[in-house]
């Protein structure tokens, strides 16, 4: 990772000493490399010059980062009204947004229509509701259909989304029937297909399999007189969290799915726009998470207690995810001891990193968890009365605050104590 280096014993991000950042902004702290984020976005744009790349906002909803991605020409996949308002605020135009979701509220459908964004319908029930809402508003909703392609991809079961047992999408066997139904329905205009088979997938084969199934379905839709203007193959490309992992690049993904797409389009005589919705592979490795050592406890194992846990980085707890650990103020140090890094949350599962060989650690040391940009801050909570931390952007050789840390007032926010309890 060329944005991260060890210089003079300290970890640096794009040349900026992270030990200084921790001093200046405090810990815990998320720090993002603007250069890395832009490079990741460009890698997609170059691998898929003719496609639209929609950043999956659930991975990271920071406005400054969304602005950067908007500048790089990306659109957005949003999964809620809240995510839609974020991307609108970031200046991403409505025509470059797809509103996804398996259980949308009526207000969300309305908001999507008002914003002029396409909607991906996840069920027949939702299609019918959308048609009603659109008719009431005197609009015609452009709608794509989330297909459940029943493709198995090797990843953590909680983030596999394309199996027939998953809650997402319309079973592929039912798709043509639903599409035909939509074709005859007032208030909606069916424009294409959408799928997503899972996240953190390290092999291109399942993407190719899903693309083939999608093109086969497109063919059946064309046969019944349907039009296909867009084909969205989802996100899901994994990243190498461990030093031993190899992950496909966007251009390897392109070599896998483009031939299937292009051949299918030629055969069917259609020219839809290809769309991809990457989240993790755009933002994960741009960002590190810094946390300070409060205690070292030599017990059954050597525990390193730091000032953040699954309240701010939930992935290890939720998915047994690995995030590489660097002792940022001993970045040149030789691994001498085995440690388990734990947070301050009152649960035994609050472990950030297990059994890592690291330089000797003491109170005050600074721990960097790498690849924390995707599903890091965006999944943070205030559990155990822990306000959320700040975020910083490193660009052009300097660091700027892009989210203020919360103070304890966030814990009171919105709470109402009935007067009778205030006696």
Active site residues: 346
Tell the smallest beta-carbon distance from residue 350 to ligand LLP (Å): 16
What does the alpha-carbon distance between residue 117 and residue 119 come to, in Å, rounded to a whole number? 6
If the CB atoms of residues 75 and 279 are measured against ligand LLP, the closer one turns out to be 279
CA atoms within 13 A on the CB side of 137: 21
What does the alpha-carbon distance between residue 267 and residue 275 come to, in Å, rounded to a whole number? 19
Indicate whether 371 belongs to the interface with ligand LLP (CB under 6 A): no
* Structure-token match 């592929």, residue found: 172
Do 119 and 109 touch, CB atoms closer than 8 A?
yes
User: What does DSSP assign to residue 133?
Assistant: H
Instruction: Candidates 56, 211, 257, 326: give the one binding ligand LLP (CB under 6 A).
Output: 56
If the CB atoms of residues 40 and 302 are measured against ligand LLP, the closer one turns out to be 40
If the CB atoms of residues 277 and 365 are measured against ligand LLP, the closer one turns out to be 277
Instruction: Candidates 118, 213, 280, 292: give the one binding ligand LLP (CB under 6 A).
Output: 280
Instruction: Candidates 75, 206, 278, 395: give the one binding ligand LLP (CB under 6 A).
Output: 278
Tell the smallest beta-carbon distance from residue 193 to ligand LLP (Å): 13
Report CA-CA distances (Å) from 252 to 123, 212, 247, 255, 257: 32, 17, 10, 5, 9
Q: Phi first, then psi: what are they for 358, rounded to 5°?
A: -140, 165
Tell the smallest beta-carbon distance from residue 119 to ligand LLP (Å): 13
**Cβ within 8 Å of residue 383, ≥6 positions away:** 310, 311, 345
If the CB atoms of residues 12 and 287 are measured against ligand LLP, the closer one turns out to be 287
Strand-pair partners of 11: 6
Indicate whether 250 belongs to the interface with ligand LLP (CB under 6 A): no
Indicate whether 33 belongs to the interface with ligand LLP (CB under 6 A): no
Instruction: Candidates 16, 59, 270, 402: give the one binding ligand LLP (CB under 6 A).
Output: 59
Two tokens, residue 417: 């104590």
What does the alpha-carbon distance between residue 325 and residue 323 come to, in Å, rounded to a whole number? 6
- Identify the CA nearest to 279 among candidates 78, 121, 119: 78
- Please check if 177 is assigned to a binding site: no
Indicate whether 277 belongs to the interface with ligand LLP (CB under 6 A): yes
Indicate whether 162 belongs to the interface with ligand LLP (CB under 6 A): no
- Residues 71-100, interacting with ligand LLP (CB under 6 A): 77, 100
Instruction: Candidates 226, 236, 305, 343: give the one binding ligand LLP (CB under 6 A).
Output: 236
Strand-pair partners of 341: 304, 353
Tell the smallest beta-carbon distance from residue 53 to ligand LLP (Å): 11
Radius of gyration, alpha carbons of the chain: 23
- Residues 179-218, interacting with ligand LLP (CB under 6 A): 196, 199-200
Do 68 and 89 touch, CB atoms closer than 8 A?
no
Contact residues for ligand LLP, defined by CB under 6 A: 56, 59, 77, 100, 159, 161, 196, 199-200, 234-237, 277-281, 315, 319, 374-375
Which residues sit in the known binding site for pyridoxal 5'-phosphate?
A: 236, 277-280, 375
């Amino acid at each position: 990772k060329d944005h991260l280096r060890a210089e003079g014993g300290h970890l640096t991000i794009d040349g900026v000493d992270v030990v200084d950042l921790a001093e200046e902004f405090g810990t815990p702290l998320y720090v993002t490399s603007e250069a890395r984020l832009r490079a990741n976005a460009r890698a997609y744009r170059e691998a898929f010059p003719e496609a639209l790349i929609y950043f999956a906002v659930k991975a990271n909803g920071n406005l400054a980062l969304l602005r950067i991605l908007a500048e790089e020409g990306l659109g957005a996949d949003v999964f809620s009204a809240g995510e839609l308002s974020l991307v609108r605020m970031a200046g991403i135009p409505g025509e470059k947004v797809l509103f996804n979701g398996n259980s949308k509220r009526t207000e969300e459908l309305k908001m999507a229509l008002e914003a002029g964004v396409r909607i991906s319908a996840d069920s027949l029930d939702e299609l019918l509701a959308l048609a009603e809402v659109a008719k009431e508003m005197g609009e015609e909703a452009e709608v794509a259909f989330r297909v459940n392609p029943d493709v198995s991809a090797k990843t953590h079961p909680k983030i596999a989304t394309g199996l027939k047992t998953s809650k997402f999408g319309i079973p592929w066997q039912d798709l043509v029937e639903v599409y035909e139904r939509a074709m005859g329905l007032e208030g909606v205009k069916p424009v294409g297909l959408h799928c997503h088979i899972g996240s953190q997938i390290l092999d291109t084969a399942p993407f190719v399999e899903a693309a083939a199934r999608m093109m086969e379905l497109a063919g059946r839709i064309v046969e019944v007189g349907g039009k296909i203007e867009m084909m969205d193959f989802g996100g899901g490309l994994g990243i190498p969290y461990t030093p031993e992992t190899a992950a496909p690049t966007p251009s390897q993904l392109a070599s896998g799915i483009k031939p299937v797409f292009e051949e299918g389009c030629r055969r069917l005589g259609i020219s839809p726009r290809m769309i991809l919705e990457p989240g993790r592979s755009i933002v994960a490795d741009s960002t590190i998470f810094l946390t300070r050592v409060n205690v070292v406890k030599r017990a059954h194992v050597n525990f390193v207690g730091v000032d953040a846990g699954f309240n701010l980085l939930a992935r290890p707890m939720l998915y047994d995810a690995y995030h590489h650990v660097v002792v940022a103020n001993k970045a040149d140090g030789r691994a001498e001891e085995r440690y388990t890094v734990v947070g301050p949350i009152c649960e035994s599962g609050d472990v950030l990193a297990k059994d890592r060989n690291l330089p000797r650690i003491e109170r005050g040391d600074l721990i960097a968890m790498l690849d924390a940009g995707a599903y890091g801050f965006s999944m943070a909570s205030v559990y155990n009365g822990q306000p959320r931390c700040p975020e910083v952007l490193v660009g052009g050789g300097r660091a700027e605050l892009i989210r203020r840390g919360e103070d304890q007032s966030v814990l009171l926010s919105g709470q109402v104590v009935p007067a009778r309890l205030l006696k």
